[in-house]
Structure 1
Amino acid sequence: MPIDLSGKTVLITGATGQLGRVMARTLAQAGANTVLHYHGNAAKAAELKTEIEALGRACVTVQADITDFQAVQLMSENALNALGKVDIVVANAVIQYEWTSILEQPLEDYRSQFESCVLQSVHLAKTFAPAMIERGQGRFIGINTECAMQNFPGQSAYTAGKRGMDGIYRVLAKEIGEYGITVNQVAPGWTISEKDRENNSEHQASYSQHVPLKRRGTDQEIANTVLFLASDLASYITGAYIPVCGGNVIPSI
């Protein structure tokens, strides 16, 4: 059964990132008009916009600091002026930093993860949910991580931010579900991206040997899960945390 998102508009934060760009292409291929958020990579955003418009979809690029509420509101205004509405919000952006132990991790890294995981989610909900409530439909899809279940050494700031994000998404699912809006999370494992293909680093035996499917997932497999959650096929799924990691982490019941 093909997925058709014709007439829908999706906003993807961090759309120029390794996973974001594949999500953008995939949802556009399914018919969605696209709002491409970026923070600093204007050139990649413009390149991606050209790709999506070549598919016959409307597309706009918007620059914003997703940790700044006023910047997110301005991003929304620019998106609405260009495309009229946003039906699907994919929260993919996150601040990158160097991982180390809790005792050595700079405090600023904990702040950056809180701001880019938790506050981004709050900013997007406050900005885009009211119009979805009025229309009686909408989708929020957060990109979480398998690390939120692993809690391995060195992951503390990232795990803390993503576990906080998980709390926001679970509560939001209960608060706005009555309006026909679903709120879900996709949790990738260590995913093969364009950068891996360029660097011939797709195969990481030390990681894959612990994965039940014995391989790393791909950026396209992450995008496919996002596409499913964005579609009517997932109309009765909300509040879910869905690992896309070959079984490397398995939520219990």
Structure 2
Amino acid sequence: MTGATGRVALVTGASSGIGAATARLLASRGMRVVVNYLRSDKPAEEVVADIAAAGGRAMAVQADVREVAAVEGMVEQVRAAWGGVDVLVHNALIPYAVASFRDMTWEELGGKLNSEMHAAFAVTKAVLPSMTEQGWGRIVYLGTGLSRRPREGMIALGTAKAALEQFARYLAQELGPQGITVNVVAPGPVEDTRMAADVLDDALRQRQVAATPLGRLARPADVAQAVAFYATEDNAFMTGTTAAVDGGMSMY
């Protein structure tokens, strides 16, 4: 991995699942990693301890990414310790309702859309000044295959993440001249995550596996590998793209 040493990476929602796997991987490649969490302080500190034990550098910082003041405070805390954020991995999963459109209220659908975009807006605004100043930055948003492949009950999440994907493309166009890339990693179902627990019973899980050419569901480490590529100098010429990490499921 070229040029990663010393870069500062902020990973939101990094106390478990994809976020934790990404934090560990980026740290193993020489980045100083900010492990953001909302309530899971002990798991976040465990991620930091794992990184330290492996010879890396990390800090855990609590912040609700839906709150502008909290996000600004987090970024200022990082700046005081390590300087500006070079890499943003926005992974935090904003709560959402699992329901059909018929049974859904506007508060559930509109609230998810608002919270999803407000969080992405807030964290991006907060890290952008230092990236712009140095003429280099990497922004990676976690999306979902559900934004393009509808599944029963997932209209709130799929619609909100579709909005996030288009937001990323507009940012990629605007920020490219400043040396900042913006990309999306869109997993299919991922083992050992809260989203999978929400939607996959045993029967549906087996159907998903059967429909996947590679014959299994994604693991957090699979998603982290794609994020890590986008987060470094290895990705010199890809921006405005969405990587489907789904074992080939999106071909159909």
The verdict on a shared fold, with TM-score over 0.5 as the criterion, is: yes
1:236 aligns with 2:237: yes
Q: Deviations over 1:11-48 (max 9, x none)?
A: 00000131111111111111111101100111111111
Measured at CA, do residues 74 and 111 of structure 1 come closer, stay the same or move farther in structure 2, by a change above 3 Å?
Answer: farther
Deviations 1:120-168 (A, max 9, x none): 1111221111210110000000000000111222111001110111111
8 Å contact kept, 2:96–2:112: no
Deviations 1:180-238 (A, max 9, x none): 00000000010123788xxxx7x932111112223212111100111111121111110
**1:133 paired to 2:123:** no
Question: Aligned runs of 1:4-19 on 2, under 5 Å?
Answer: 5-19=4-18
Counterpart residue number, 2:178: 179
The AA in structure 2 aligned to 1:239 is G
1:195-214 to structure 2, matched below 5 A, reads 204-214=205-215
User: Is the CA contact (8 Å cut-off) linking 1:66 and 1:116 kept in structure 2?
Assistant: no
User: Which is worse superposed, 75-84 or 93-102?
Assistant: 93-102
Which residue in 1 is equivalent to 2:249? 248
- Corresponding residue for residue 216 of structure 2: 215
- Structure 2 SS opposite 1:19: helix
Query: After the TM superposition, which residues 1-253 of structure 1 pair with which residues of structure 2 at under 5 Å, given as runs?
Result: 2=1, 5-193=4-192, 204-250=205-251
Question: In 1, Cα distance between the equivalents of 2:144 and 2:184?
Answer: 9
User: 1:98, 1:124 → 2: CA distance?
Assistant: 23
Contact 1:95 1:112 in 2 (8 A): no
Counterpart CA distance in 2 for 1:24 and 1:116 is: 23
- Deviations for 1:24-75, whole angstroms, at most 9, x for unmatched residues? 1111111111101100111111111111122333322111111111111111
Q: Is the 8 A contact 1:139 1:182 kept in 2?
A: yes
Report the TM-score when normalising by structure 1. Answer: 0.90
Q: Distance in 2 between matches of 1:91 and 1:229?
A: 13
**Residue 187 of structure 1 contacts residue 242 of structure 1 at CA under 8 Å; is this kept in 2?**
yes
Q: RMSD value over aligned CA atoms?
A: 2.0
Supply the distance in 2 between the matched residues of 1:31 and 1:112 (Cα, whole angstroms). Answer: 38
Q: Deviations over 1:92-114 (max 9, x none)?
A: 00123441101212433324422
Amino acid in the other structure paired with 2:240? G
How many pairs are equivalent? 245
Work out the CA distance in 1 between the residues paired with 2:160 and 2:95: 12
**Residue identity opposite 2:190 in structure 1:** T
CA distance in 2, matches of 1:249, 1:96: 25
TM superposition shift of 1:115 = 3.7
Partners of 1:167 and 1:130 in 2: CA distance: 22
Structure 2 segments unaligned to the other structure (5+ residues): none
> What amino acid does structure 2 have at the position aligned with 1:85?
G
- What one-letter code is carried by the residue in structure 2 that aligns with 1:207? Q
The 1:228–1:185 alpha-carbon spacing in structure 2 relative to 1, beyond 3 Å, is same
TM-score, length basis structure 2: 0.91
**Stretch of structure 1 that moved more, 76-85 or 136-145:** 76-85
Point out 4+ residue stretches in structure 1 off by more than 6 angstroms.
none
